[in-house]
Chains A and B, each alone.
Chain A
Amino acid sequence: MAETSVLPNPLREGIRMRRTPDACAMVIFGASGDLTERKLLPALYYLARERLLPGGFSIIGCSRTPYSNDQFREKMRQAIVTHLNLDNGNDPILESFCKNVYYLTDNFGDPKAYSQLVDLINRLDQEGKTSGNRLFYLATPPSFFPVIVKHLGSAGLAKPKDPDKTWTRVVLEKPFGRDLESARQLNRTVTRVFHEDQVYRIDHYLGKETVQNLLVFRFANGIFEPIWNRRYIDHVQIAVAETLGVENRGSYYEESGLLRDMIQNHVLQLLSLVAMEPPASFDAKAVRDEKAKVLRALRPIPMEQVNDFTVRAQYAKGFAEGKEVPGYRSEPNVSPKSVTETFAALKLSLDNWRWADVPFYLRSGKRLAKRVSEITIQFRRVPHLLFQGAVTDSIEPNVMAVRIQPDEGISLRFSAKVPGTTPQIRPVKMDFRYGEAFGASPPTAYETLLLDCMLGDNTLFNRDDAVELSWELVTPILDRWKQDGEKGLASYEAGSWGPVEADAFIERDGRAWRRL
């Protein structure tokens, strides 16, 4: 379906003009939930305050909890004040923003609620508070996706009001499926109602500034691309470590586990950005095509070899974030016999020319020693140790580290001579930090992604094929782990860097995890 726009606005030309989307109604399903309060409304308010939303922008919250418009407005107003640390006094911008917030009680399965939604959107259109464009945001548990999508279709809300002048889009929060089959089924359900171009599968990791900068770093600098291949790179590590445990998400986590929660989406997305070929242009299709090619090139791990290429573990009690913390099995809503993994390490290979024989080591876990996400490119060692007299056993290989959070930045480790008469060589680090170089804080991931979605730019959103390809890789691992149950599930102390089995796993290849 072609996206359309009105006649170009000549006032918008020029290097300083920021993009602002068309007037639209944003309908949030699951509006009484945590995500809406903590992330969506604060991000939308911020965009409105910074003049990045158009006049004629309205929000309609839909959820099962009954609220009046005024009650919901007040709840959202409080949420924005709390999460953005605003002064709770008179803020004309916040008051103006909240005036355009509406609420409908909806159990998601009742056709009448969708008729009411149609009436409300039409009324807002007529009152000039929207302009025929619609954005549906599904912030509900995924089990509601099919029924909401189906009813949107039946109510005639999935098609643009005027295909030549208006647009309709739907945003789906992760997790998108729980295995290959359920992801395929969900894709089929969604694309029976919406065209794939209308579907925005959100992964907030991709909205982070450093993740986006990966593309700029790789493709706007001439010096990196020539060495970004098997000839110069020994291996790649991607780490996403959290200090938090499962908190109050025990029930969810029991069903999900680390592999589904982090690796299938965030970590594989990072991998695809690191490994992709240069796209022909920076448009969404070209970028997403190249990312999908990477996922397609991932060598499948057959069920019988899963234990050779993976490590899984669960945190035991320990000391994290300055206090004693319980083990996973003692967390609320977690089975005392749970075999759900809270840590995973994988070794993946890409079967293509650029990356043949370059292993990608992925690791992610909860209750680790530090909250850090980092991509490490370790280059090959020099072929010959020229400095035989140097006081060193070997020269450390060059390492480029892309820090995603916290302290976003890029560092390069290289060797230098220690000043003095003795020929000593020592590794030193060259550091670039976003906070230092640019000062200004980048927008949050949700601000970036919500704006992109309203602007019709789906570069940073997952496409159906990418989702299915990542499940293709992950599903046999899940199946094998399920089959093995307790067998092969390692344990690690909360607050540590994971199980010793993970260290042995990489040391087997003569390598080591980077100290984070």
Chain B
Amino acid sequence: MLTLESLAGGESQEVKISELESKLAQLGRSKMKENQGAEATVTRAASLTLVVLVETPEAAQEVSEQICAISEQNPCRAVVLVAQPEAKPAALRAWISVHFNQPSSASAKRLCAEQILVEARGDAVNDLGNVVLPLTLSGLPVHFWWRAARFDPPDYFRQVFRLTSRVLVDSARFLHPEPDLLELAGHVKRQSAQFSFLDLNWSRITPWRELISQCFDRPETRGYLDRLERVRIEYESESPRLAAQGVQALLIAGWLAGRLKWQPGARPSRKQNSTSSFYLRSAHGEVEVQRVARRFEGAGKGVCFWITLEGGGDPPASFKLDRGCDGRSVVTRAEILGRPLVTRTVRLEVLDEAQLVNEELQISGRDPIFEESLSIVARCLQT
């Protein structure tokens, strides 16, 4: 079994909670001295404090590996919290380390990030908030990456949330996607005035949303946006990313509904075999949104994702965006009956978690479109 001792090996050192800040400064200075060669310039850089909550030592290891990649684009102090309220005996331990990276453009080496790993077992989890507070960097924003299977913050994080500018969740990690999304929507509604919420799964669909938008930029296709009758989103039924893709489909539907002023609850949602449908009311009639989990030939990694939008009118039209098993590119097809098919291929890769966090950290402020979409998803799930 992975332990934090083994994780903290190598460059990390265990320190007393009360000495975290001073030992970190000491470690930074000694590392800078070690690397201060004739040609190497070591600099410290930080643009934020990133607090990360994980639930297991394995997750802490995954995050530790990502911190360096995150720091290259968003230099930060990372405080990784491993909260294990069920573990015995109660204990609070901490390790510190520094990450270096090599800028591509210069020969200079630099200290780009400091990482503090805090493990809280049993009742000691109640102290986590107070451990974090003095570790945040002054004058810089605090981002809280909630890397857990559900967003339901316990009370001991209350003081940390007071300092937090933004909370990052990942609905792809939700154990029970639909009720957990509903719960998240409730938190967003209540707390978005206090800090902004961002969902990494929302970030995953941003390029899909861009591609869908592009389908309706042209004068000859713009009109179909008001006459959409069916949206079909297909994804892999047998992959480790099934739940993630299912939530992505919901968020796309919520986004379309919000932007196009579709009202949920035209009639009750329906589930038949692997197809879930819900119905919304547009200014022109009813829109059916289908989520279809199905088998794709040669698939299994959860990268296949197909979106079809069908518009009524004369002539009718359909717009298809298909990412196949290569997981790298999407073929788009705009088909208006009686006119030549317009097709192209563009890049759309599955981004890893560090890339997604990096993207999110570079956006400032709230994302009202996400909040709107999530709220509509919640309403749809309640019909």
Q: A residues bordering B, Cβ < 8 Å?
A: 6-7, 9-18, 20, 22-23, 48-51, 54-57, 92-93, 95-97, 100, 126-129, 131, 165, 406-407, 431, 433, 435-440
Contact = CB atoms under 8 A, between A and B. Distances in A.
A6 B220 CA distance: 9
A439 B342 contact: no
Tell me the dominant secondary structure on chain B's binding face. Answer: mixed
B210 A20 contact: yes
A6 B259 contact: no
Interface stretch (B103-111, B240-248, B277-285, B374-382): B103-111
B313 interface: no
Tell me the dominant secondary structure on chain A's binding face. Answer: loop
Contact of A93 (B211, B216, B329): B329
Given A10-B225, A49-B346, A437-B47, A18 B216 contact: no
Contact of B342 (A11, A93, A129, A433): A129
A54 B214 contact: yes
18 contacts: A6-B218, A7-B222, A9-B225, A11-B213, A17-B213, A50-B347, A51-B207, A51-B210, A55-B332, A55-B342, A96-B331, A100-B344, A126-B340, A433-B103, A435-B103, A437-B47, A437-B75, A439-B74
B214 A18 contact: no
Interface stretch (B15-23, B53-61, B154-162, B363-371): B363-371
Contacts of B347: 49-51, 93
A18 B210 contact: yes
B369 A96 contact: no
B225 A11 contact: yes
A92 B73 contact: no
B63 interface: no
A55 B212 contact: no
Contact of B345 (A23, A56, A92, A126): A92
Nearest to B103: A435
B210 A17 contact: yes
Query: Top 4 nearest A-B pairs by Cβ distance?
Result: A439-B73, A96-B345, A14-B369, A11-B213
B43 A10 contact: no
B218 A13 contact: no
Nearest to B110: A436
A437 B45 contact: yes
A433 to B, nearest CB: 7
Given A15-B365, A16-B363, A6 B214 contact: no
B139 interface: no
B298 interface: no
Contact of A22 (B73, B210, B218): B218
A440 B362 CA distance: 11
A55 B214 contact: yes
A435 B369 CA distance: 31
B218 A23 contact: yes
B215 to A, nearest CB: 7
Given A51-B211, A436-B75, A439-B72, A56 B218 contact: yes
B29 interface: no
A131 B334 CA distance: 14
A431 B206 CA distance: 34
Contacts of B106: 407, 433, 435
Interface in B34-70: 43, 45, 47
A440 B363 CA distance: 14
B209 interface: yes
